Amino acid sequence: MLSLTVVAMRIVSEDRKDIEFRKRIVPAACVFMPEHIISIIADHADDGLDEDKETMGLLIGRFFRDDNGTYAIIDGIATAGLIADSSKVRFEKETMEDLFDQLVLKEDQCVVGWYHSHLDVGCFMSPTDISTQKGIFGDECGFALVIDPVRKELDVFDNDPDGPKHVDMVIIDND
């Protein structure tokens, strides 16, 4: 997890210089997710469930800001070989480079969050999840999506210094 953290933090901090001001289309939402991306994340979680394994990946997109603060519009995901069982997941060291090879970021794109699955325990942020979140984003804005393919639940959390808080996500139509 350490190298992922170091590289991700570099990506996070390098791309944070200027966040464009743009009013969000749904005032209460912090994450805007295209329908086809949520399908990829759900399929990934289902595939993991077939093997009784958690899954995880990074959420790629863009940050914007308005009077209500910073929000993210997701463009895609990146994932790599995982070491996982039914209650924990991390990236394989050997395939870590594959992950970052996938991270050919376009202008303004950066790591805006990460996702992982929970198998039939519901969606929450465990102490390990919180330290992963802090490791990737530090004190910067970043979102954690948790999906439970057994209970068909999904939740998104922010990186609040006082602990992750639920934020609203809006599914947007594919372009």
Contacts of 60 (CB under 8 A, 6+ apart): 74, 75, 76, 77, 78, 103, 105, 109, 110, 111, 112
Any contact of residue 148 with Zn ion (CB under 5 A)? no
Taking each helix axis from N to C end, the angle separating 127-137 and 2-14, rounded to the nearest 10 degrees, works out to: 50
Q: What's the Rg (C-alpha) of the chain? A: 15
Pick 126 or 131: Cβ nearer Zn ion: 126
Q: Taking the complex as a whole, how short is the minimal distance between the CB of residue 155 and Zn ion, in angstroms?
A: 11
How far is 110 from 94, CA to CA, in rounded Å?
23
CA–CA separation, 81 and 37 (whole Å):
19
Alpha helices in 104-160 (DSSP H): 127-137
**Which of 65, 90 has the CB closer to Zn ion?**
90
How many whole angstroms separate alpha carbon 110 and alpha carbon 100?
12
C-beta closer to Zn ion: residue 71 or 157? 157
* Nearer to Zn ion (CB atom), residue 35 or residue 120: 120
Min separation Cβ 168 and Zn ion, Å: 20
Q: 112 with 142: CB under 8 angstroms?
A: yes
Q: How far is the CB of 103 from Zn ion (least distance, A)?
A: 22
For Zn ion, give the closer residue by CB, 105 or 169: 169
Residue 107 Cβ vs Zn ion, minimum distance, rounded to whole Å: 32
Site string for Zn ion, 85-104 (x = CB under 5 A): --------------------
Q: Give min distance, CB of 114 to Zn ion, in A.
A: 10
Q: How many residues of this chain interact with Zn ion, rule: CB under 5 A?
A: 2
Residue nearest to Zn ion (CB): 129
Q: Closest approach of Cβ 12 to Zn ion, in Å?
A: 20
Member of 91, 117, 129, 158 binding Zn ion (CB under 5 A): 129
Cα-to-chain-centroid distance, residue 124: 14
Residues that bind Zn ion (CB under 5 A): 126, 129
